[in-house]
Amino acid sequence: MSFFHTIPSYSVLYFLFIIVLTAPSFDMILCCKFLNNTICAGIDNKLDNGSVQQSNVDILLADLPGNASQNAFVNTSVGEGQDGILGVAICLANISPSSCQNCLQWAVKHLYSDPKCKNSNSAESWFDRCMVHYSSHELFFGVPKTRPNITTFWGKSEANGGGLETAVYKLINNLSDSAAKNSETRSALGQLDYNQTSTSSTTIYGLAQCTRDLSAGNCSTCLAKFTRQLKIKSSGSTYTGARIVGDSCFIWYDNEPINNTCDQNAENEHINNPISDQNSGNGSSPVPPEGRGKSRTKTITIVTAVSVVVGLLLLVIAIYFVWLRKRTTKASSSWRATGYCKLRPDIRVYSIYELKTATQNFSPSKRLGRGGYGEVYQAVMYGRSVAIKRLLKASKENEQELIKELSLVSYMEHPNILKLVGYCFEKNQYFFVYEHMPNGSLDKHLKDPTSRQKLSWTTRFKIIKEIAQGLSYLHYGLEKRTTHVDLKLTNILLSKEMAAKIADFDMLRTFETDETHQSTEKGYGTIGYMAPEVNVLALRKNYSLKSDIYSFGIMVLEIVTGKGIHTFRKTESEENISESDENLTSFVWKNWNCKRYLEVIDPYLDLKIQRDNEQMVRCIHIGLLCIQHEAAKRPDILDVQKLLNTKEPLPPPSVPGFLRD
């Protein structure tokens, strides 16, 4: 009988697969399990199943292990306001990324399996080499928290206990000082030799570490408190190893090296014989372990048996396991690991399988839009509504440009910039995953008469100012000055609360400090929004921050007039304008020169409020300043923001682009 005839039925296979999928790796069994504890601080404030806040907890906990694994630390948040959840995950600074991720996954699993923590708005899970903590409390990051904490002791030294005690405190104090000063990892690992007897010496090893959101002073405070709390003697003997772990810092000493590998015999003693005192401030003394030899043998036997059983199960279902457990691509992982692509730590790497599942194999019913770059699909992934941008024209040839774009966009964090959630570069297919904006593009609202009528002046003016804020961030809020290049109404997306966010970063250009512009023969952007100096007819295209200002000015005029750059139509009130001049800029400019300001304003807007009328006319004036033909005459975006928020006099605009004689 062949091997495949011996495979059990599909139901049995599924059951076996779940066992293997949820079982910890051997690294976790040996390295993590001897300290595991969960504490739920939000027992009196339970979250409802299906609530936004509970969904945010699930999203946070799903992302923490992967996001923290490369750097052994991450602090992040999901959601805003009263639904927001803050989270932190940390591993020993010298642990390998795979061990870190395994440990954190195990810690998260314990949070879900502890019935006391179910639907809690604040909980934490501690393991040997890692810790996960989430909370809805706003005072979470940067504050040293030493309660609750867990103290664990092991081993006894009968000889020269006083020498060991002195060496431990000296080592821990030195390491605490070094960890506080280490701004990169807030950790220090070291060792100290001391005289065990009059004729021999031995070595004690130690570790001090804080979460990296703590300042040097707060880190020092946290470690000092734990050092004072560390009582390492019992019944006249001194423990050869001890650890105190808390939310913000931990200390550890041992008579064996502390590293990211596990000595099976030593760790098994900890697994079976931990002496833990969950500190509640009562100062209770721990009890020493008994019967180590039997425990060690028993544990080795169990681990060996489990290894054999799990190995056989893996062999039976390997073909199914490989198919179902597709994860991040090898290329994507290598970019993160080697620093080839520097990404924000919480950026998620999706597989094509996940994206296909979420979009029902890219069903047309899930498609939000289509353009020259590709398609956008709406989906819900891990409780979060997202927009998946599928790049149809991308290929291996321009992969380097995509990686550069990914690295730049991942670090954009601003209320008026569309946030990148994750990506997938796999099998020559390329996807960017962004937060989903349920109200779609501003262009859609201005084109549809019903939606346009609902866009009050208050909403429109707020949108103009928010676009300016987002553009200011691109120009001056990043490491390098950045131009969007393709600003237009279709690239302004609106949230549920009608907050404006700049989107579509395919054409971003960055400038060095001493660069005023970049010259190229190739044109980028959309006709109608492109400044004269970058227009397709120009032999050399000179891109600068002022090119974006021109596009911004066009959008301001569209928002005030309600007329799109490509959909301008002649009306009775425009009879004095010739057919050849009939476009948005000429319409606004000629009416402005004739002081027929109200002729320009969208007829759907209410003109009964004098203050609103003044703001509308002022915005038309600012828009004309932004689209002046000469780039040097256009205001900087910081000046635009000032003009939008004050009533200071405005200079007269010169002729707009493309209208010069």
SS (H, E, C) 278-340: EECCCCCCCCCCCCHHHHHHHHHHHHHHHHHHHHHHHHHHHHHHHHHCCCCCHHHHHHHHHCC
The C-alpha atoms of residue 554 and residue 529 are separated, in whole angstroms, by 6
Helices (H), 191-280: 216-229, 264-272
Residue 555 DSSP SS3: helix
The C-alpha atoms of residue 520 and residue 189 are separated, in whole angstroms, by 52
User: Cβ distance 389 to 322 under 8 Å?
Assistant: no
The C-alpha atoms of residue 286 and residue 364 are separated, in whole angstroms, by 64
Exposed e or buried b per residue across 326-352, where buried means at least 16 C-beta atoms within 10 angstroms of its C-beta: eebbeebeebbeeeebebbbbbbbbbe
Class of residue 242 by CB neighbours under 10 A (exposed 0-12, middle 13-18, buried 19+): buried
Nearest to 506 by CA among 376, 347, 415: 376
Class of residue 313 by CB neighbours under 10 A (exposed 0-12, middle 13-18, buried 19+): middle
Q: Round to the nearest angstrom and report the end-to-end CA distance of the chain.
A: 89
581 has catalytic annotation:
no
Report strand pairing: 420-426 vs 348-349. parallel
The HSE-up count of residue 221 (CA atoms within 13 Å, CB side) is: 11
389 is in an annotated binding site: yes
Q: Which residues pair with 329 in a beta bridge?
A: none
Contact partners, residue 401, CB within 8 Å, separation at least 6: none
Helices (H), 359-512: 399-410, 442-447, 449-454, 457-476
Give me the catalytic one of 27, 254, 277, 486. 486
Report strand pairing: 241-246 vs 122-127. unpaired
Q: Distances from the Cα of 187 to the Cαs of 90, 174, 205, 269, 282, in angstroms?
A: 11, 12, 14, 26, 29
Q: Which residues are catalytic?
A: 486
As annotated, the binding site includes 389
Feature table: binding site for ATP? 389
